[in-house]
Structure 1
Amino acid sequence: MRGNGIAGKAFSGEGCRRGQESHRARSHRGTVSVLALVGVCVLSFVTTQMAGAQPVAENVDTGFVIPFAGAPVYESVAPTQMTTPDQLNQPLGQQTAEEIAAQIGLEPADALTEEQYRDLMTGGGIGGNLEDAEVIDECARILTNTNGRPLYSGTTPSVLASYGLYVNPDGLLESPANADAPTRQVNTLIAPGGFVGTWLRNNGATHTLIALYQSAYTVQAVYGFAAQQISGEAQLVTNTKGDVSSEVGMSMAPPLWIVNFALLYILKPSLAAAMPAHWAPIPPAVADAVKASPTGQIAFSDYASYFE
């Protein structure tokens, strides 16, 4: 029996199939559009390289593919897969962070002053907002969840940055790119014309904003956006080298890692130095569970043993 759909139109099995086909077509067009945007950005980058950035000359096979690999000239700047247990969740350190900053077009003078950083993070300065500042602070803590910097869900500590995962305050394990995560929600704050850019311009840090946009941040942000748009609720990335495939959270894929590094560096270089130096494959059972979850979230307590 047919029912009446929107605007009184008949809704039947045939109509449903046409709708599904239309949805698939739109999804395909959406994916093509996102990848086309990446292509335009690459072409623009090749013809008019950004002033401050100093891309690495050699290309390397990291096991990631476009758009998850990001701009080829910066792919080797991002973390490599860990090869020894002691590299798990190890932070970059300041010296390595400064070397990476130089390669992507940033230097210490581009970062906020101590006073500017303090004002921004406490909701001060002209146009300051404590609620937005707290989101930024949460992002910094999630992205620097390395050894010595645990996150807590209740009394349970977790250190998972190398996996590109974190445990939220409700005890759910998820990718930092999950729609629920502050690290995804902050996109509205850092978008052109958003809170961060406006605050920087109003508080004597226009040079910081210019340096950010002239760095690798700009081209990598396009790849990062494309990667997020085609990764569903789980927001995991597949890495394949030879015959071995593994999964890692979106935040450890080259474009998003470099974007986040640049943002933390201009806030405070020591924050960027606390980011993970290597990525680690998510245990397969955990990755499968995250991908099977309709929200991309799973109870950490059910899977904590995989990270011990």
Structure 2
Amino acid sequence: MAGVLDSVNQRTQMVGKNRLELLLFRLRGRQIYGINVFKVKEVLQCPKLFSIPSSLPVVRGVAYTRGATIPIIDLAMAIGMPAIPQEDLATSFVIITEYNRKTQGFLVSGVEGIVNMNWEDILPPPKGAGRDVYLTAVTKIDDKLIEVIDVEKVLSEVAPLKEDVGEDILSRNASRIQGHLPVLVVDDSSVARRQIERCLKAIGMDVVTHNDGKQALDYLGEITADGSKATDHHSMMISDVEMPEMDGYTLVARCKENPLISELFIMLHTSLSGVFNKAMVQKVGADDFMAKFSPDELAERVMDIIDEK
């Protein structure tokens, strides 16, 4: 799959323009799925896999690539489909990704290529789909439905993250947060929203959540319609980057253009690589950036930000 990924510099040109690139792939059958190219480090023909004693069945083994050992997760199996057969591994592919500060590979049956899209064309899953579906969004390309998988939900089940704030942080910061306005949290992943909300409530913060940038911007417009400022209602906003309809970069840019919202402190909190995001954060005018997900680091950073106000 040489050349399937564009350069980082080319992809950063889309920042603030509400655009993304999706890597399209198949699991079992004809359905096409998508993943944001920014989370993809490499696409490989499935390398030789070595078994891991006592590992979950969904982890098909580890691969040695570019001097590193990487766990390979059968993505079909992880979302409740039959596993890719052993005899099909030689013709399958592995998508090497970076999420939440960790690198892992996802085993897929085929890779279709990359499409450049507008986030406005990426829609939330149908409301009737239920709470436990492994999707964060859907879109249509050439009359074909593309399903964007909630990889954070997959990883939370395969390799759960620590979600509780450490007792030492809670004990030495018990009185720092009292009396502050709620934090606005924006994330399309139900798993991520739960993790952030649990972290912030542990340190005594009230939380208001929204599922995507458009929802959040509409909400901020409503609470400031009387001429009040966003800072009269919220102490800060923590937003994901990847979201249907309006991404986090565009949300920040729109907020900073509005004099009633522009003073609100905005932290981008994302599973995308921090290496890619430093320049992007500056470009759209966000106040801070943090890679997901460390409850201790997030708690400390939120308390430091509020202390400085």
Same fold (TM over 0.5): no
Q: Which has the higher strand share?
A: 2
Q: Which has the higher helix share?
A: 1
Bigger relative contact order (CA 8 A; separation at least 6): 1
* Structure-1-length-normalised TM-score: 0.28
* Structure-2-length-normalised TM-score: 0.28
